Chain A
Amino acid sequence: QSVLTQPPSASGTPGQRVTISCSGSSSNIGSNYVHWYQQLPGTAPKLLIYRNNQRPSGVPDRFSGSKSGTSASLAISGLRSEDEADYYCAAWDDSLSGRVFGGGTKLTVL
């Protein structure tokens, strides 16, 4: 049972916009930055969004992040087949004094 809650799966067709939610609490998302990671099959995770809504260089602007209260969201617009991957949210948890991850969302491009 992950501290951060994500839907286990999401899907969309090419060109569509999909969003993935991440729900936490006041001790994690509510008081700390959220990061998002993309993990393509058989590879290491890659940083996609940092500090709630910032994109590292090289990440397309089709990817965007937002945060409100104790929840965060990752939006992917103009969905492409290469976006098919697992997506994870993460944040520091003040109560646990540790970093927590969501359980991951498997995105399928139909």
Chain B
Amino acid sequence: EVQLVESGGGLVKPGGSLRLSCAASGFTFSSFNMNWVRQAPGKGLEWVSSISSSSTYIYYAESVRGRFTISRDNAKNSLFLQMNSLRAEDTAVYYCARGDSIGAPDYWGQGILVTVSS
């Protein structure tokens, strides 16, 4: 069974940093692209970033480019999102999602809340 478990969320002040982690199990992590998708309170889904299976290809949404960094550790079946210079508008539930054969999210974690507030 595919399982994705996010951790590392919480309350952070504007301008601060946070590092999200996603622990994957139930599939060969090193063979799949991975994604981060977020959802602000009461709002729709927003894709944040994607990383290919071997980290060769990395993409970011314009809203986070230059502030967020996606990475992965295939030896530890883990996905990360380093978030710097956080803003109030980054407040959201962040989902880790496995990518299917074309990279589109298929399995999703339960999500982790990040709140940016003073």
Which B residues lie within 8 Å of A97 (CB)? 59
Question: Known: A44-B109, A44-B111. Contact between A50 and B100, CB under 8 A?
Answer: yes
By the criterion CB–CB under 8 Å, are B102 and A45 in contact?
no
A100 at the interface (CB under 8 A from B): yes
Q: How far is the CB of A108 from chain B (nearest CB, A)?
A: 17
Closest to B97 in A: A45
By the criterion CB–CB under 8 Å, are B106 and A47 in contact?
yes
By the criterion CB–CB under 8 Å, are A47 and B44 in contact?
no
Total A residues in contact with B, Cβ cutoff 8 Å = 26
Which A residues lie within 8 Å of B59 (CB)? 97-99
By the criterion CB–CB under 8 Å, are B105 and A47 in contact?
yes
Residue from B45, B59, B106 with most neighbouring chain A CB atoms (10 Å): B45
Which B residues lie within 8 Å of A24 (CB)? none
By the criterion CB–CB under 8 Å, are B45 and A104 in contact?
yes
Bound-state Cα–Cα, A84 to B107, Å: 21
Residues from 1 to 38 in A contacting B, C-beta threshold 8 Å: 2, 32-33, 35, 37
21 contacting pairs across A/B (C-beta < 8 A): A32-B102, A33-B102, A37-B45, A39-B45, A44-B109, A44-B110, A45-B95, A46-B108, A47-B100, A47-B105, A47-B106, A51-B102, A90-B105, A92-B104, A96-B62, A97-B59, A98-B47, A98-B61, A99-B47, A99-B50, A99-B105
Closest 6 CB pairs of A and B: A99-B47, A104-B44, A44-B108, A101-B45, A35-B104, A47-B106
